[in-house]
């Protein structure tokens, strides 16, 4: 194949009557599939099926906002000079750690208001979150971002990748590590693992904390290959520092919650169906 004939995939999915970018469509697909899985599991675990539908109505917009703010803060040198670019999220620039901060904070507040255990919600939602991340990385693929350092075409072909991936990794005259793919595969494996761990009847909260550990370990090593990392200093990558911190925090929480008797309930323990009321029903109950 002649190098000059390699053209990137079109990042625009639909151009009329409105412009829809593959980046947003792929992230949206991941969110919907994750919601479907969480909704099915929530009913098995004694929660009303509308719980996660109501939660994502708040969590997704807030997560996207926080993911963008997180990215903009660490790239302020650019955005302070180009404020008009801040809103161009279709061009990429959503930091997963920022999104997780927003989503988890929303989940904690939501659970407290609705009188539901946050850890129960988190355990049920953990595979869905990771699935959304696994699928969402393909949005980075379409934008030719979140890639690693320079490699040869022979290296990529040696990974037995299909041509459409190899060709999309040809950027500005060179081939690059498909780190989006590495992380996507790691996350898909993690989803399968979390679904299996459900049957192990972990203590409440530990399925979610296992997700935190699994994702953070993979992100730490994959981040070391990337060329577009957000940096704390010239040598410290933000995502690697956060990943180490999250692994330590998750392990400490597992130990402390067990010591304090805060994790005596288990994932598969039979429970009465928890009462759940949406805002409309709660308003009517006060009349």
Answer positive or negative: Cα dihedral of 98, 99, 105, 108. negative
DSSP E strand boundaries for 223-275: none
For residue 135, what are the contacts with CB-CB under 8 A and spacing of at least 6?
Answer: 26, 27, 29, 30, 33, 184
Express each pLDDT in 173-205 by its tens digit.
999 999 999 999 999 999 999 999 999 989 999
Q: In 3-state terms, what secondary structure has residue 241?
A: helix
pLDDT at 140 over 60: yes
Average pLDDT over residues 114-132: 96
Q: How many CA atoms lie within 13 A of 60 on its CB side?
A: 19
Residues 6+ apart with CB under 8 A from 79: 72, 85, 86
Average predicted confidence (pLDDT) for the chain:
90
Q: Is residue 2 very low, low, confident or very high in pLDDT (cuts 50, 70, 90)?
A: very low
Give me the pLDDT at residue 271, please: 62
Nearest to 146 by CA among 85, 22, 230: 230
Q: What is the DSSP string of 88-138?
A: -GGG----HHHHHHHHHHHHHHHHHHHT--HHHHHHHHHHHHHHHHHHHHH
> Which whole-number Å values give the CA distances from 102 to 58, 60, 108, 128, 227, in the listed order?
10, 9, 10, 16, 26
156 vs 122: CA distance, rounded Å: 37
Q: How far apart are CA 11 and CA 21, in angstroms?
A: 6
What 3-state class would DSSP assign to 256?
A: helix
Q: How far apart are CA 177 and CA 148, in angstroms?
A: 4
Rounded to two decimals, the pTM is 0.88
Question: What is the average pLDDT across 240-267?
Answer: 96
Q: With 70 as the cut, is the pLDDT of residue 243 above it?
A: yes
Average pLDDT over residues 83-87: 87
């Amino acid at each position: 194949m002649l190098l000059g004939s390699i053209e990137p995939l079109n990042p625009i999915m639909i151009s009329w009557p409105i412009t829809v970018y593959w980046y947003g469509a792929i992230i949206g697909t991941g969110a919907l599939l994750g919601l479907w899985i969480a909704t099915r599991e929530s009913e098995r675990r004694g929660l009303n099926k509308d719980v996660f539908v109501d939660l994502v109505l708040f969590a997704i917009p807030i997560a996207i906002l926080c993911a963008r703010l997180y990215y903009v803060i660490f790239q302020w040198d650019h955005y302070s000079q180009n404020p008009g670019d801040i809103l161009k999220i279709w061009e990429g620039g959503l930091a997963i750690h920022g999104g997780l901060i927003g989503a988890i904070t929303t989940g904690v507040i939501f659970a407290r208001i609705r009188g539901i255990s946050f850890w129960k919600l988190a355990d049920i939602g953990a595979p869905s979150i990771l699935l959304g991340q696994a699928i969402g990385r393909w949005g980075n693929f379409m934008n030719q971002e979140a890639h690693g350092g320079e490699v040869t075409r022979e290296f990529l072909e040696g990974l037995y990748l299909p041509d459409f991936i190899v060709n999309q990794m040809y950027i500005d005259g060179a081939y690059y590590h498909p780190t989006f793919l590495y992380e996507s595969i790691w996350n898909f494996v993690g989803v399968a693992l979390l679904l299996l761990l459900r049957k192990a009847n972990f203590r409440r909260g530990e399925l979610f904390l296992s997700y935190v550990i699994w994702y953070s370990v993979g992100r730490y090593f994959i981040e070391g290959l990337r060329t577009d990392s957000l940096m704390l200093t010239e040598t410290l990558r933000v995502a690697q520092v956060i990943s180490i911190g999250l692994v330590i925090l998750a392990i400490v929480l597992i130990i402390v919650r067990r010591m304090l008797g805060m994790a005596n309930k288990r994932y598969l323990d039979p429970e009465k169906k928890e009462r759940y009321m949406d805002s409309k029903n709660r308003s009517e109950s006060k009349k």
